[in-house]
Homo-oligomer: A and B are copies of this chain.
Amino acid sequence: MSETKRKTRKKSANRELLEARIIRAAEIVFATKGFSGSTMDRIAETAKISKQNLIYYFPNKDLLYKRVLQEILDIWMEKLSMLESPTQNPEEVIRRYVHEKLRLSREYPNSSKVFAHEVISGAPVLKAHLISQLKPQFERDVAVVNQWVERGLIKPVDPRHLFFTIWAATQTYADFSVQMEILLDKPQLDDDDFDEAEAAITQMVMRAIGAD
């Protein structure tokens, strides 16, 4: 009985492992080629399985793309709900927020790129999720920052544009890494670059909210 369970678990674990590998592969391809430019063949090759086998796991490209986007959104929504501790010191909260956002760019650059392609293209698939998931959280976070301003904890700022700027400034280190590598004369952005970026962005934001 326990043996049966173990076997069943093991098999489905294998499947999950392969699905995860496929999604990772798909993410890489979608990140560099966009949705239309990505072929099932190329994704399969990247995942080191046959195209037909890929289709066995994900019967069509749209579905695979949606799964990739959903995984991305899940990660981001989870890691970026940190403004929900409004009792904390604003400076610390924002510092951590920038830090976390930048860490996502560093650790999930492909996710960031897929997301960017999607939104730039008009978010045909993600629009609904942005409305139902991102928007409510955005509004809560805006409210939190507004309260900080009202309580005089930080200098007056427009929270909406503050968030837009932080998002843009952090994501750019994933999305536009190629441009930076060229301008900084480096084959790859390394940990030092990200640390410098964090210092620069944090400093800017801190000065903006009057916490320097």
Which interface class (under 10, 10 to 19, 20 to 34, 35 or more) fits A? 35 or more
A205 within 8 A of B: yes
A120-B117, A175-B116 are contacts. A164–B131 as well, Cβ < 8 Å? no
Interface positions, chain A 116-136, Cβ under 8 Å from B, are 116-117, 119-123, 127, 130-131, 134-135
CB–CB B204/A158 < 8 A: no
A162 within 8 A of B: yes
- Copies of this protein in the assembly total 2
In the complex, the chain B residue whose C-beta lies closest to that of A155 is B207
On chain B, the residues within 8 Å of A197 by CB distance are 161, 164
CB–CB B32/A34 < 8 A: no
CB–CB A158/B36 < 8 A: no
On chain B, the residues within 8 Å of A175 by CB distance are 116, 119-120
| In-complex Cβ contact of A32 among B32, B122, B127, B184 (8 A) | B122
| In-complex Cβ contact of A34 among B34, B119, B208 (8 A) | B34
| In-complex Cβ contact of A200 among B32, B127, B165, B184 (8 A) | B165
CB–CB A167/B157 < 8 A: no
Binding site for B on A (CB under 8 A): 31-37, 113, 116-117, 119-123, 127, 130-131, 134-135, 138, 157-158, 160-162, 164-165, 167-169, 171-173, 175-176, 178-180, 182-184, 196-197, 199-201, 203-205, 207-208, 210
